[in-house]
């Protein structure tokens, strides 16, 4: 069942997991991976099957899965003592509980609301470009891909611009122990930063209780679930998910998009000449360099997937990045092609009840970002001699460490 040698956590595989994913897809599309203590699912249709049965493949992985390492357990204990312990809302719940929380966040980023945000997002994009355009060079990850989503989510939450830099530090800490191999001291440092964020948001929450504003925290504080207001644990958990969901993913997608343009100058030229194609380019970037490599589910009963028996209580990793190159759905899936037909059929935002509620916002940030970058920057080229761009080693997120570029200002 598990005869594909190697590990998903080998440094080489973390840097470029796609050859390994291909072997898994072809040789063992559902197989137990001891390095993750989970069954890894790599074929598109198998993931769609899982998504249709939340009753069998549950999101409640903390309660039912029990997959914490010693370092994670220490970090959780620190949070409980000094801040607010993790509770299961939204991403860690199944319908019908999930539906109650989901209604609250769905209101925040409907496609219609995101359409009204376009001039605002374009303003943030232009401000960021203004800050580096005269230099003729920048670290694209540090100076653009990171601050764009951080600024947008901070503004939506009602966090002042002066605190934007903290948003990145906090969301890194929130994601840290789940994705990096940390020792206890590192996990505790992340927990300390998470608790710092929680106390910051607790003050904002109390403020919005007294004086509501036009921001998401005010909406959440005054919303009702099942005829009652959310308590502080639930509010903290939802904010954690909005911060982590809205930042790193979008940063990684934007960074990957620029890397792919640098690697495919002919396709960059095509997009300059055909800016209407940027919409499809965004989908192809999300497919080809899937920002969330996989997410977990836990089985609530003995079951079977792709012909493989899976016992109750097993963890499953849904390999979105692997499925996004499945040749059964994406012909020549290993090829990057901004004109690809049905590129948007990717699973990068998941599917089913947990489909990413920030998808419209993430897409719009990429769309506005690349449209304006290609308008304002000419002759974009890499500033590092080697074409090899290094990724942050993370078990389930894929993003570049940095991306130094040079360019000529157009206007």
**Contacts with ligand HEM, residue ranges (CB under 6 A):** 90-91, 102, 105, 109, 153, 241-242, 245-246, 249-250, 253, 291-292, 295, 320, 348-350, 354-358, 361-362
* H helices present in 37-96, as ranges: 44-52, 70-82
Kindly state the smallest distance separating residue 183's Cβ from ligand HEM, in Å: 28
CA distance 394 to 390: 12
Cβ burial 366-378 (10 Å sphere, 16+ → b, else e): bbbbbbbbbebbe
Comparing CB distances to ligand HEM, the nearer of 74 and 373 is 373
Comparing CB distances to ligand HEM, the nearer of 21 and 78 is 21
Q: How far is CA 338 from the centre of its chain?
A: 21
Kindly state the smallest distance separating residue 288's Cβ from ligand HEM, in Å: 12
Kindly state the smallest distance separating residue 294's Cβ from ligand HEM, in Å: 9
- Is residue 408 a contact partner of residue 377, using CB atoms and an 8 Å limit? yes
Kindly state the smallest distance separating residue 405's Cβ from ligand HEM, in Å: 20
Comparing CB distances to ligand HEM, the nearer of 295 and 372 is 295
- Alpha carbon separation from 124 to 113, 150, 161, 258, 398 (Å, rounded): 17, 11, 11, 18, 24
**77 SS3 class:** helix
Comparing CB distances to ligand HEM, the nearer of 74 and 153 is 153
Kindly state the smallest distance separating residue 190's Cβ from ligand HEM, in Å: 20
Comparing CB distances to ligand HEM, the nearer of 269 and 342 is 342
Kindly state the smallest distance separating residue 351's Cβ from ligand HEM, in Å: 6
Q: How many other C-beta atoms are found inside a 10 Å radius of the C-beta of residue 287?
A: 26
Comparing CB distances to ligand HEM, the nearer of 153 and 187 is 153
Residues 6+ apart with CB under 8 A from 26: none
């Amino acid at each position: 069942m598990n005869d594909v040698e190697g590990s998903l956590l080998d440094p080489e595989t973390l840097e470029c997991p796609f050859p390994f994913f291909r072997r898994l897809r072809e040789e063992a599309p559902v197989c137990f991976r001891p390095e993750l203590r989970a069954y890894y699912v790599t074929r598109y249709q198998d993931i769609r099957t899982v998504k249709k049965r939340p009753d069998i493949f549950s999101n409640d992985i903390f309660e039912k899965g029990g997959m914490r390492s010693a370092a994670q357990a220490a970090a959780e204990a620190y949070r409980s003592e000094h801040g607010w312990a993790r509770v299961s809302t939204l991403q860690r719940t199944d319908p019908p509980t999930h539906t109650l929380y989901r209604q609250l966040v769905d209101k925040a980023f409907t496609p219609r609301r995101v359409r009204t945000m376009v001039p605002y997002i374009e303003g943030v994009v232009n401000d960021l470009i203004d800050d580096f355009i005269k230099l003729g060079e920048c670290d694209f990850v540090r100076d653009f891909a990171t601050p764009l989503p951080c600024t947008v989510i901070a503004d939506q939450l009602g966090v002042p611009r002066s605190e934007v830099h903290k948003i990145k530090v906090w969301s890194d800490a929130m994601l840290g122990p789940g994705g990096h191999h940390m020792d206890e001291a590192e996990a505790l440092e992340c927990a300390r930063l998470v608790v710092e964020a929680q106390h910051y948001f607790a003050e904002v929450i109390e403020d919005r209780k007294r004086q509501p504003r036009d921001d998401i925290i005010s909406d959440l504080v005054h919303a009702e679930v099942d005829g009652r207001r959310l308590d502080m644990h639930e509010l903290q958990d939802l904010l954690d998910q909005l911060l982590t969901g809205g930042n790193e993913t979008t940063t990684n997608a934007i960074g990957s998009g620029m890397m792919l343009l640098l690697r495919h100058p002919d396709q960059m030229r095509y997009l300059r000449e055909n800016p209407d194609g940027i919409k499809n380019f965004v989908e192809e970037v999300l497919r080809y360099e899937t920002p969330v490599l996989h997410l977990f589910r836990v089985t609530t009963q003995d079951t079977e997937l792709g012909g493989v028996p899976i016992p109750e209580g097993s963890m499953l990793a849904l390999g979105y990045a692997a499925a996004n190159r499945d040749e059964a759905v994406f012909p020549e899936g290993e090829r990057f092609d901004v004109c690809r037909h049905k590129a948007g059929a990717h699973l990068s935002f998941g599917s089913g009840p947990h489909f990413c509620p920030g998808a419209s916002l993430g897409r719009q940030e990429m769309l506005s970002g690349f449209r304006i970058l290609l308008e304002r920057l000419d002759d974009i080229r890499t500033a590092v001699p080697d074409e090899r761009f290094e990724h942050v080693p993370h078990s389930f997120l894929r993003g570049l460490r940095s991306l130094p570029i040079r360019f000529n200002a157009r206007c």
